[in-house]
Chain A
Amino acid sequence: MDASQTAPALKYSFRRDQRLFQIAFLGSLLAFGVFQRDFLVDGAFVLVTLATVWLAQTAAILWLGLAWNSLLSATISGLGLCLLCRANSLGWVALAAATSIASKFLIRWKGKHFFNPTNLGIIVLLVSTSSVWVSPAQWGTERLLVFWVLAMGLWVTFVSRRSDVSLVFLGTYVTLLVVRVIWLGQPTAVLFHQLQSGALLVFTFFMISDPRATPDAPTARLGFGVAVAVLAYVLRFHFYSPNALLYALFLLSPLTPILDSLWSTRRFEWGMPLATAPA
């Protein structure tokens, strides 16, 4: 991401960059998917996606004079696409990847992009072609549990400053699911089944938590997390959208600049020490 745009007060440290953990996690989840599950993702898919995001990001780095470490953000966007996006030809994959990265530089408000790039790339193609889709259920259930635990642990340990939005979103969403299951008189197995979703996991920890695409102020961020959860619930259970989570975040992302202008606080930057990183 364009970390160089707002001059950080502290020096960037590659080793402290939380994005490395995210890449490691997403990479292992992808490997799990490719080798263990019928993901419809092969080497070519991954290669085209990553090559496209790197190429697009490099162009932006050279053009806009951004820091090279922003390639890490592009890698995260690319891995997110590999995990969520499915297409019937590699051309669509490349287009989704290019759209994701381009959106960071084309759709901005006061020097900050407010759409999560992966989210935007998928949604734009979902609505514009039937050749792209998201397969939320292709993850299986049992072993996914391990990834849930791992994701929580890593997140809390390494990226806790921004984990609040993930946890608030998840808490609200799960509460709504619980209420619904109780209201319908369904067995608790239904609830667990609904939670054992790889798409929900990736969304919670690697998409809605995107510090660039969420409000900077803690209060605003909490409100944002709740709003996305409520909208996702409504879209899923009243409009029957299989991609409710993605649409909810996409529709509410424009709130980020508005909330930021209401609560002014220091802008998030990658690679800062946790103790001094902006809350």
Chain B
Amino acid sequence: MRLLLLSLLVSRLSFGFCGFYVAKADASLFNRASQVILVRDGNRTALTMANDFKGELSEFAMVVPVPEVLTREQIHVGDRKLIERVDNFSAPRLVEYFDDDPCNPTDRMRESGRAMMKNKGAGPEKRSGGAHGVTIEARYTVGEYDILILSAKESGGLETWLLDNGYKLPKNASKALGPYIKQNMKFFVARVNLKEQEKTGFTFLRPIQIAFESPKFMLPIRLGMVNADGPQDLLIYTITKKGRVETTNYRTVKLPTGMNVPIYIKEKFADFYRATFDTAHVKENKKVLFLEYAWNMGWCDPCAADPLSRDELRKLGVFWLADADESLAQRRRGIRPRPGNGIGPVDAFLTRLHVRYDGEHFPEDLMFQETGDSENFQGRYVLQHPWTGKSECREAEAYRERLATRRKEEAKTLASLTGWNLADITKAMGDAPNGDTGKKDDTKWYQNIFK
């Protein structure tokens, strides 16, 4: 049995897809981003596929290779808020610190963290569709979805079957489907049942969750590339018992983190992060996955959002947290939480991986393994607010000198992270507080002309 996963979104009119939703450029940080939550221990896997599809619901359809014929009990329709919770909790964050009065140093450091990444988005229009060696192994209606589990003997047959049943497929769909059929995988096909959808009262589609056992810890991204007209972003959240998850057939690289950046980034964090990711992606030759977060799910420091409750974790499929309420009660009685906020360590380790993939740079599906590495990691950028008081003393002078150097360093860091022009950055940073106009620039006139 093999693992399964991700996707192919098909439609009657177009086959625009690849993940689970296609986001509008103006509404989301990353275009064409999909999100999946992969909960795994041993061979047991619970997969939540986020679907932010906002086109005509009647036109939505999705095909996912799965390792076995799933029973009704293995399929569930989840709560979309859970995905948002995990996203917000693990998103790269900005933290702020405030310098002390150099003449009167006190422990005035304040810190605030906030996550600025949101993966909201709307999809462009999609249309959905509907025996050539194809067998309908099972048929269910779960929540607002009509679900078919198909098995096929050969890819040409499956392609024909899908076409006959109203799905419009791109030319090379058959080629992409072939390897999954040869490996005896089944196909999970979901489309919206409008009557049932109306009953839910929601205007959006809820995430589909499936649970299965398979020795293969992977995500089939290749299917999603079939009709891709450019790279796609995928956020993979894994929840495992012990440690960080990494890919075994591509490099997993830590996102550049921990740098001090100019204060004005507070208002432009989305732009900043997008540019930082773009730059890192290109620098690594577009061939790696980025680690954006790795932390026990029980706490965080600083928190971009409250940690998920044990109940929320269980709803995401963290099956080993069965006695959530009782354990939580025990923790509240006796165990002090770790620094920061949270319910204290739980046996759930969250890894957030961000990959921008295309057919050329990612010829194979993503294969994963859980490692024993439980070291904390987060994408975190620091705003260090200068002291703005008027005190005068020898330390204040020295402080102002250091501040000028620091501002230059921050500008350089930002330029190197984002690829933005240094002169533009310096301009955007404006004047330093307290008389430092920022014009005390020791850059030689000739240093800028030959750049």
Contacts and interface: CB of A to CB of B under 8 A. Distances in A.
B182 interface: yes
Interface string A181-198: 001111101101110010
A136 B364 CA distance: 15
B287 A141 contact: yes
A216 B362 CA distance: 42
Contacts of B367: 242
A88 B375 contact: yes
B373 to A, nearest CB: 5
B373 A189 contact: no
B372 A135 contact: no
Given A142-B285, A190-B363, A242-B248, A184 B182 contact: yes
A135 B371 contact: yes
Interface in A123-168: 129-133, 135-142
A130 B373 CA distance: 9
B275 to A, nearest CB: 21
Interface residues of B, number: 35
Interface stretch (B120-128, B250-258, B418-426, B435-443): B250-258
A140 to B, nearest CB: 6
B217 interface: yes
Contacts of A37: 251
Contacts of B364: 190, 193-194
Contacts of A130: 242-243, 370, 372
Contacts of B247: 137
A42 interface: no
Contacts of B2: 240
B292 interface: no
A194 B247 CA distance: 13
B375 A38 contact: no
Contacts of A240: 2-3, 215-217
B371 A193 contact: no
Contacts of A138: 246, 251-252
A86 interface: yes
Contacts of A242: 248, 367, 369
B66 to A, nearest CB: 16
Q: Do most interface residues of chain B lie in helix, strand or loop, or is the interface mixed? A: loop
A183 B372 contact: no
B183 interface: yes
Contacts of B248: 135-137, 242
Interface size class of A (residues with CB under 8 A): 20 to 34
B373 A86 contact: yes
- Which of B182, B242, B246, B285 has the most C-beta atoms of chain A within 10 angstroms of its own C-beta? B246
Contacts of B179: 184-186
Nearest to B183: A184
Contacts of B252: 38, 137-138
A239 interface: yes
A40 interface: yes
Contacts of A186: 179, 363
A87 interface: yes
B374 interface: yes
Nearest to B374: A88
B372 A133 contact: yes
B43 to A, nearest CB: 9
Contacts of B155: 185
Nearest to A129: B372
B175 interface: yes
- Which of B3, B155, B373 has the most C-beta atoms of chain A within 10 angstroms of its own C-beta? B373
Given A140-B287, A193-B363, A88 B251 contact: no
A141 B288 CA distance: 10
A184 B152 CA distance: 14
Given A37-B251, A183-B182, A242-B367, A137 B243 contact: no
Nearest to B246: A135
Interface string B237-248: 000001100111
B360 to A, nearest CB: 8
Nearest to A133: B371
A193 to B, nearest CB: 5
15 contacts: A38-B254, A129-B372, A135-B246, A135-B248, A137-B246, A137-B249, A139-B251, A140-B251, A186-B179, A186-B363, A190-B364, A193-B249, A194-B364, A239-B215, A240-B217
Interface of B: 2-3, 155, 175, 178-179, 182-183, 215-217, 242-243, 246-254, 285, 287, 360, 363-364, 367, 369-375
Those 5 A-B pairs whose CB atoms lie nearest each other, nearest first: A189-B363, A131-B372, A184-B179, A242-B248, A240-B215
